[in-house]
């Protein structure tokens, strides 16, 4: 039985607790049930398409938040290969300057085949970090499929990061994606047409939202525009309180889904279906029905 109480002043205890929860080790359920939340710890979601500069932006945000004397935890959701289930861990490379800071804890988490980009364990691990006493928890998603929508079910504040090159595609962005963002970040704003893209984005937001949604222009690589985003985060800790019940239901659904699928081993499934598919009469639906 694991008896671990994660504490942001002891990173080893936090790392051990996350390992126990992520891998469903002995005592994981008991650890989660005993988590206590003694202070409000906002979860900041940073999402957007690949190449938008999310990791660089997070790195700059961390630097700014540290100047306020805050302790920061980061969950970096890494892509997982569908063939060997290995995580690329690219975010660790881009956030390297923060790894040795005593007030920053960074953990990479593989998507483990989740099509939405969020591991089923993300919610539980975020709660471990919240219960550890950090001041802010930042979660960067892999930015594929439905991850931009899913992060809204986990984060208190969601930042959607885009680049000027998204201009041709902005009209086709799903309305659900537009609705989940609490702020938009046009990164790499030194590129051509950045102002035009930001203005068009504001017009689209005004059409889809009743209240004002900020659009920030940044050059994260040189920390330009980061102060404005930091001020927004610090001044809006309870921005999603009106959706508390919905967000809790989404989290509960994810946890229930994970528990019901806990006995399905994806690697074993691949091996089994590889053998079964050699039958010329193979039928996927009959296979799935007989798999349980």
Q: Would you tell me how many other CB atoms lie within 10 Å of the CB of residue 40?
A: 10
Tell me the per-residue pLDDT of 136-158, one tens digit each, with 9 for 90 and over.
Answer: 999 998 665 555 566 767 788 88
Distance CA 183, CA 215 (A): 6
CB 166 within 8 A of CB 53: no
Is residue 83 classed as helix, strand or coil in its secondary structure? coil
Contact residues for 138 (Cβ-Cβ < 8 A; gap 6+): 43, 44, 46, 58, 61, 62, 72, 73, 74, 75
**Predicted structure pTM score:** 0.82
Please name the fold of domain 38-244.
Answer: Rossmann fold (3.40.50)
Tell me the per-residue pLDDT of 5-50, one tens digit each, with 9 for 90 and over.
999 999 999 999 999 999 889 999 899 999 988 888 999 999 888 8
């Amino acid at each position: 039985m694991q008896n671990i109480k994660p504490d942001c002043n002891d990173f080893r205890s936090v790392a051990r607790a996350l390992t126990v929860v992520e891998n469903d080790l002995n005592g994981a359920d008991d650890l989660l049930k005993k988590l206590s939340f003694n202070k409000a710890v906002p979860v900041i979601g940073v999402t957007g398409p690949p190449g938008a500069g999310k990791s660089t932006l997070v790195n700059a945000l961390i630097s700014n938040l540290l100047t306020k004397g805050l302790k920061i935890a980061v969950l970096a959701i890494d892509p997982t290969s569908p063939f060997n289930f290995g995580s690329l861990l690219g975010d660790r490379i881009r956030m390297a300057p923060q790894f040795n800071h005593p007030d920053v804890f960074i953990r990479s988490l593989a998507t483990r085949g989740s099509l939405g980009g969020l591991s089923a364990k993300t919610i539980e691990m975020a709660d471990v970090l919240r219960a550890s006493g950090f001041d802010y928890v930042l979660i960067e998603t892999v930015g594929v499929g439905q991850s931009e929508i899913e992060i809204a079910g986990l984060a208190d504040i969601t930042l959607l990061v885009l680049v000027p090159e998204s201009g041709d595609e902005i009209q086709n962005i799903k309305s659900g994606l537009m609705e989940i963002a609490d702020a938009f970040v046009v990164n790499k704003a030194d590129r051509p047409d950045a102002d035009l893209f930001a203005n068009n984005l504001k017009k689209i937001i005004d059409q889809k939202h009743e209240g004002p949604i900020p659009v920030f222009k940044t050059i994260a690589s040189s920390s330009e525009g980061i102060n404005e985003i930091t001020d927004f985060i610090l001044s809006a800790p309870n921005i999603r309180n009106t959706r508390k019940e919905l967000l809790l239901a989404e989290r509960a659904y994810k946890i229930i889904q994970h528990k019901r699928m806990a006995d399905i081993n994806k690697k074993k499934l691949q091996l089994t279906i590889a053998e079964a598919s050699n039958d010329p009469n193979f039928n996927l639906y009959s296979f799935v029905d007989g798999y349980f």
